[in-house]
Chain A
Amino acid sequence: MSASMAGTRGSEFAMQNGPDPALPLLEVRGISKSFGAVRALQEVDFTLRAGEIHALLGENGAGKSTLIKVVTGVFPRDAGIVRIGGEEIAPRSAKAAVAAGIATVYQEVNLLPNLSVAQNLFLDRQPMRFGIVREGEMRRRAKALLAEFGLDIDVAAPLGHYSVAIQHVTAIARAVDLSARVLILDEPTASLDRHEVEILFGIMRQLAKRGIGIVFVSHFLDQVYEISDRITVLRNGRLVGEREKASLPRIELIRMMLGRELAETTNARAATSEYEAREVCASFENYGKAGYVVPFDLELRHGEVVGLAGLLGSGRTETARLVFGAERADGGKASVEGASVRLQSPRDGVRHGFGYCPEERKTDGIVAELTVRENIVLALQAKRGLHRPLRRREQDEIARRYVKMLDIRPPDPERPVGLLSGGNQQKVLLARWLATSPRLLVLDEPTRGIDVGAHAEIIRLIRELCDDGLSLLVISSELDEIVTYSDRVVVLRDRAHVEELAGEAVDVGNILAAIAADGAGVAHEERA
């Protein structure tokens, strides 16, 4: 009762005196939402003030994205109220939410790959004259808008031609440009590299200064501490608490999120001498494809983790796809356990005991409408062939084992995987390949969108697998992370392997130096 009174008064006040940073801009009270038996949100409260950057945190599946979708009317809510500037709103579609002053970058949306970048930015609000879209004007504005984000691309080209990172920046630019009162960003930085994150943060700060309230969801705690003013934590669909950032130590935050302490990860990198003695699992000589990746040499040993580092578009994913067999090489030699092999298709890769978790989980990874169990056994079944079907009991067994081992939530193997939160989908993918007992596992951004708890677990798992003799090739944009688990790091630039660091040389500084070394640097060396 009193809250609603305060809200009404607040809005009058705001009307007269402009935004007051102390008053709630967006107020969410007692929101509940169930999907069948799953209670995704229970009586959640959330308050956003004008001009603040407010982090919304929680484990995978805690209900962050659901809260956002309920607030913006994408999902109908079961109970609760939402007020903006003191006025109650009940948007029934994303369009209505925008009209009410809330602009959102959803976690999975991505925009429309078949439309041009400019159309994506201005869809449904194109500049018009006489009922006709002013294409030139729209492009000009699109270019100007993206320039703010440090992006200079052909805005007339279809969005799908660009990398995930560029697509994500476009989505953010669109939301920012809607000039709403509230901006909600659900994991906007998951696929951005440092440079782009900095640009985004700069823009967020500017917007906040203008009195816009920003909700920021992320699993990168460093970023959370860097940018946010206050933090709200959800766990299992319930509100755990809301704190000022300054008064919340990291340990405490993690305890709020997980409901327990985080086990310390140990950096168990093997000594150089030790891993050099190990047997080679797979090796590639002068392996490459014209217009795709410059031919490279790569040796992957049993029981070691090789990290691939580089900027966006440097050719890491391409290397991974060649190694796995998802792309055909047009030259060079591949061998497994010393025997020369042909890798023409993913099936070849699977046959030779390879596994590959692609970075684009939704389009290349999960089969959304199949269950968790079916997704987990898929690769194993494909490997065994048609005539040796896994019995239902075996499937249940396998699914249960990995759901438990990777702590997939909710722990229901019969749930369509598309209904899981992003992080849990990632774990299902990992389980799919672990179930095949591979000798080589290629992981492209395995921790993207994964919460701190699971993040630590996955890194622990990577080390464990490695100790079991598995060979791992891991791509990650998190250099700290790469350094934590890699025995060796290959650095890429412009679709070529430019540097290989091993043993003690594996550290963030060296990697950055290798990434940054450009033509000038090379020239300098040559002169020396």
Chain B
Amino acid sequence: AELTIGFSQIGSESGWRAAETSVSKQEASKRKVNLKIADAQQKQENQIKAIRSFIAQNVDAIFLAPVVSTGWDSVLKEAREAKIPVVLLDRDIDPSGKELYLTAVTSDSVHEGEVAGDWLAKTVGAKACNIVELQGTVGASVATNRKKGFDTAIAKHANLKVVRSQTGDFTRAKGKEVMESFIKAEGGGKNICAVYAHNDDMMVGAIQAMKEAGLKPGKDILTVSIDAVPDIFKAMVAGEANATVELTPNMAGPALDAVAAFKSKGTVPPKWIQTESKLYTAADDPQKIYDSKKGLGY
């Protein structure tokens, strides 16, 4: 019979998230799976409600992109009681709940930060480099992790230093505003050698701020950010961005395969299906990547 899967999605707070949703739908329809998506509008309580109502509807499996890592125990226990397998997408949950889900298809956001930091360290070499950081939303686990990973990577290099760090709320507008003030505060941008942004959207805003201040992003100031959304490749084509770390929007594909195998043959998948955190730079033919990503719903 046709599978019905409930997907508790966080919301659509960014272009990447919209792409994840639309890619999930494509992957589901490719496999003839009936995917019910409940959008939680960024609220954990809504996600819990959604999972409860999936249980009440007796779906075949539940996908959960958790907005936060904690607080899933009791609702996932209910799912287990109802014998509905749960697959985590995109983000992991707190370790105490390991036995409560079938598998997690996620990237490692600490690792993403490390990849970004390593690239920067390699590119800068031995030169002293003042970095400014555009953080994600205060309190968001991705922001915390991407900061942690980046900090670990550059801690090994005494010449790299984060001089300013503010939140840009993962948005272009705030990214631009914060970068404007960084430039003012750091001698018109002369003291900044690189920008690290927790997502590409903030970087796109920051690039504009740099241009308006008469700086050349990508040359005067290096950029590295995370997500690999199409617009950052456009900036790379224009020579205004240097590097991005990919977070693939296709988490549902592997998850669907795992569930299908589990349902038909009882194959228990590994606990963690890690997606690749691939680094892209201007050397990777950004135009081609841009064209391939354009249609994915970012």
Asked if A and B touch directly (CB within 8 angstroms), the answer is no
Which residues of B does A touch, CB under 8 Å? Answer: none
